[in-house]
Amino acid sequence: MTMIDGMLQELEMEAQTTKRVLERVPDAQLGWRPHAKARTLGELALHVAMVPGAVAQLAMTPSPAPAPQFGADPSPAKAADLLLVLDQSIADAKRTLSGVDDAKATEMWTVTADGREVFSVPRIAFLRSIMLNHWYHHRGQLSMYLRQLNVPVPSIYGPSADENPFT
């Protein structure tokens, strides 16, 4: 088993958890935001749905890679679109990363902006930090958005105040 194989197993397990959170996003509240500086519910939920595939593809680009250009956050037309985007994102991540050997995974990968190095890390470290940890961070934010909207929060790593998978 390669390092990437273990990461793909984690991705698959966490995708099921993320799906449970995205299923709760209310269509009528996509434009809601908890603060003027925060993303809307729709923007954050779409970001959560898109992260794995987009980050996997970025991590496998040739080094040095240009830093991504971030524009306005897109929002889904309807909440049901989130699950379709998540499914495609997970499929893209699996397709992009399957077959990556440990040598490629541990190869240093550099991102540049305007001719200067922004960072240089092993590809596997970038995938762990951004494809997975960053994804979990935003999924946690999304669960707090749901709580603030009085939407029942699903179990993520154990019982929530609304759902207990152990009973």
DSSP for 6-56?
HHHHHHHHHHHHHHHHHTT--GGGTT--SSTTSPPHHHHHHHHHHHHHHHH
For the segment 127-145, what is each residue's pLDDT rounded down to a tens digit? 999 999 999 999 999 999 9
Give the whole-angstrom CA distance, residue 20 versus residue 167: 18
Which of 40, 50, 126, 45 is closest to 93 using CA atoms? 50
Give the whole-angstrom CA distance, residue 35 versus residue 16: 29
For the segment 52-86, what is each residue's pLDDT rounded down to a tens digit? 999 999 999 999 999 999 899 999 999 999 999 99
Q: In whole angstroms, how large is the CA radius of gyration of the chain?
A: 17
Ordered by where they begin, the domains of the chain are 3-67+75-148 (1.20.120.450)
Q: For residue 111, what pLDDT is reported? A: 98
- The residues facing 109 across adjacent strands are 121
Give the whole-angstrom CA distance, residue 155 versus residue 164: 6
